[in-house]
Structures are given as structure tokens and as C-alpha cells.
Amino acid sequence: MKTLAIIPIRSGSKRVQDKNVKIIGDYPLFYYQYKNLKEIYGVDNIIISTDSKKYKIICEVYGCKVILRKKECSNDFSTLEDVVFDAFDQLDEVYDLTILVQATSPLTNSNDIQRGLNVIKDNPGINSIYTYTNFKRFFITDNNILERPRTQDMKPRQLETGCFWIFRNSEFLKCKNRIINPKAGIEVSNISSLDIDTYEDLEVIEPLIKKQNRKNNYYFSRITDLNKYDKTIDPDGIRRDLKQEIKNKQDDTKNEVDFINKVGIKGSKFLDLGCGNGLISSFITDDYEKYGIEPDNDSVENSRKYINESNLINSELKFGLFEKEFFDIILCYHVIEHVNNPENFIKIINEILKTRGFLIISTPNFNSYLSIRFKDKFRLLNDQTHIRLFSYDSMRNFLEDNGFYIIKYEFPFFETRHFTQDNLNRLFDTNKISPPFIGNIMSFYCMKK
């Protein structure tokens, strides 16, 4: 079935001037629905219908196909059906189905549109699709408003959202209506149903759009060659003294350990996520019930010196390994930069951490002062197992968007052994690997909301 998608955007908005082309987040308003439609399998043509030459130019800048609608369907009394008829008249090709979306519903989920299209294609007896949310509130005219039953006991009503409609064109031409019996509804979330009609609506929706836009920009992913990486050699080409590195671990983790020991109460559950050789747990007060998880077989053997074997898991972090709301505090020390799927990783952490529990996460900052100055000679790029590269801003957004409140953050350096005259002198030679410096490492101390 050939499918046409139409996005109507009329100029002359009375409440929010030029709202359909207003920049919200990173894009003009109309573009969010256009992006949705580009993701739908089975859409043959996407057009924007507008009455404004200025709007037409703006849309074409973003790569959209645009038609200028006739004046008679561009006034305050024109209906969406008028827009559809005008599009049919102007297009040379004939289509079987039409998807009609509203630019003012920018939080529409593309998966919902795909579901609706699949339903109408798979069910010849259905002529149209509409969207709704379940509504369980009182109307003033309801007879039962004085009785006030519990909302969970009320039978939900379907509240039409207007996110999109899908209909068979042959039936539309007969009845001249976008909702045609037999019809079917697609339930959407309350967030998807939000619509911009006033400046108050815009104030509510814009932060949600900005959050949605951030999701694809939390980190940079890189593909590395582990065969060329020797973890026994440090970035400066010096063979690592593993015994000395173990001694340095206590100095490196001093701030994190002090925080954990300060907030703990007897019997609290502590998880060292990616515990390695388990050494950090040896610095943690025995008031905690200590747990560790580590995928490396050799490292987990050493962890048994410091963590009870029954509390030690030789695995990557997965859903179902621990009960929900199980831990009081979780340490994630230089782990997330090695993880294939940080989104799932943080969701699991959120699930197993108690509400108002603490997460401490330390990781390299790949947009630090020295990463900018030294570029590919930034020392923390030397580790080929660093495949997910966060910046301070992106990590902050990542944590806040995934249910964490940031109590404080640190860039440990001046109080560490790395604050030396030699390392400061090395700042001037960008032909060599960058030295340790403030901002290279960032630590976030968070509470689960």
C-alpha cells in the first residue's frame, strides 16, 4: 500500500507567534514530526503543507518537501480535511493511505505511528486510526462527582490526543472525514499527547524536548583495536609497576572512600561495581555489607580477599542479578567508559539502588582542558578499552535524565600525588602525551530521586 504523510503548518498563529517554525530545543517545531515520519517503515512520501512562502523556505532548508496550499483552505475556518483534499489535488501520485500528523505535538513517539500504520495495513476491515490516552478524572457534570470514587476504581475513558490520524484514502474521499468507521485507537503516553497551543504549553514541553534531544549526545563511541593495546605499559611508555599501582589506589580513591564511609550506617549494603581486584572494598568500613561484581576472571579471584564470596558475582551487570531497591550505596569507579550500553547500565543501577540511595561515579572527562589542547595525545585515549567517551556536561545530563540528583562533583588533582612541578612543566609540550591535570578525571556524587 502506498502511503502519504502530511504535516500541515499554517502561519498566523494567534497565541504563539510563528509557533510551527519556532526553534524549540535544536530544531524548528515542525521538524520533530518530520523526523518521526522519516523513521517509519512503509511511508512513501512526506510533504509539508503550508500557506506561507517564508515557511516553505524554512522547511526546504531542512530538506523537506513542501506544497503551498490554496487560499481557500488557509483561513481560520479551514479544517484538516481541507488541507488533505488540497494535497490530493496538488500531488500527481495516488496513495492508498494517509498519515496526518500535527506539528504542535512534537513529543509524539515514532513507534506509536508505526504501530498505527501496521494495524491499518494488517486489518482490511479498519478504515481509520486515532490516538488516545486513558482519562480517569471527573467532569463537573458527572453525577458521581459528589460520591468521588477512587480513581483506580473508575473505568477509564478514551481522551483523543490528536497526535496523528491514519486513514484509507478511498473511504476519506467518500465521507470527507479523517475518522472513519470502523476505526481503531492507538493508546499513547500522556507525554506524547502534550500539545503546544499557548506559551504555558511551550514552557512545559520545551524542557522535555531538550531532554529528548540530549539522549543521542550523552557520549561519543569509538571503535578500538585491543590487539594493539598493552595494558602493562602506561600512556608515557613506561612499564607499569602493578604493586605500586595497588599502593596508589588508596590515594586515588580517597575522596570517594571518605564519602562512602561518612554516609554509611551499620548494615547498609554497598556495591563496588566493577570491583576489579577488590582493593577499594578493603578501604570501606566493615559497617557495610559489601558486594562486588566483576566480569574479569583473574581480578575476581583477588577480590575474594576483601569481599565475602557469597556476595561476589563474576559477571557483567545485568537486569535480575539483584533485587530492586537493594543497595544503599553504589560505587562505579572508572567503569562506565568501558561499557557497551551505558543506557542499560545506568537503568540497572537506578533499579537496584534504593530511593535516596547514593551513587558515586568517577570517569575520564574527554572534553577536559587537556583533551582539547593535546587532542589525540590526550593520555586517557591511550586506553583502548575506553569506548564510551563522556564530557562533564554530557555526564551531568546523563545522570539527571536517568533519575539522579547530583549532590556535588569534583575534578581531583591538586590534592593528589599528580600535582607536581614536573607535570605542570609538561603542559607546554603538546608533541608528547598529556600529563595528569585538573579536569582529566571527574567524580559525581549523586542521590537517586
As a whole number of angstroms, the distance between CA 413 and CA 415 comes to 6
The whole-number pLDDT of residue 241 equals: 73
**H helices of 195-329, where?**
199-214, 242-252, 254-263, 279-283, 297-303
Q: What is the DSSP letter of 68?
A: E
The domains of the chain, with CATH numbers, are: 3-216 (3.90.550.10), 219-448 (3.40.50.150)
Pairing of strands 128-135, 97-101: unpaired
Residue 66 cell numbers, joined: 513542501
Q: Is 104 exposed, middle or buried (0-12, 13-18, 19+ CB in 10 A)?
A: buried
- Residue 83 is predicted with a pLDDT of 95
The values of phi and psi at residue 50, to 5°, are: -140, 160
The pLDDT score that the predictor gives to residue 149 is 67
Coil, strand or helix at 157: strand
- 13: CB partners within 8 A, 6+ apart: 19, 20
Query: pLDDT 10s digit of each residue in the chain, 449 long?
Result: 999 999 999 998 888 999 999 999 889 999 999 999 999 999 999 999 999 999 999 999 999 999 999 888 877 788 999 999 999 999 999 999 999 999 999 999 999 999 999 999 999 999 999 999 998 777 776 666 666 667 677 778 888 998 999 999 999 999 999 999 999 999 999 999 999 999 999 999 999 998 888 877 899 999 888 777 777 777 877 777 766 777 788 889 999 999 999 998 899 999 999 998 899 999 999 999 999 999 988 888 888 889 999 999 999 999 999 999 999 999 999 999 999 999 999 999 999 999 999 999 999 999 999 999 999 999 999 999 999 999 999 999 999 999 999 999 999 999 999 999 999 999 999 999 999 999 999 999 999 99
- Give CA–CA dist 65/143, Å, rounded: 50
- So what's the pLDDT on residue 113? 97
In the DSSP assignment, the letter for residue 29 is H
The CA distance from 399 to 449, in Å, is 11
**Intra-chain end-to-end CA distance of the chain, in Å:** 47
Cα 136 to the center of its chain, rounded Å: 29
Q: Kindly report the number of other CB atoms within 10 A of residue 106's CB atom.
A: 27
124: cis peptide before it, omega within 30°? no
pLDDT of res. 255? 95
SS (H, E, C) 78-146: CCHHHHHHHHHHHCCCCCCEEEEECCCCCCCCHHHHHHHHHHHHHCCCCCEEEEEEEECCCCCCCHHHC
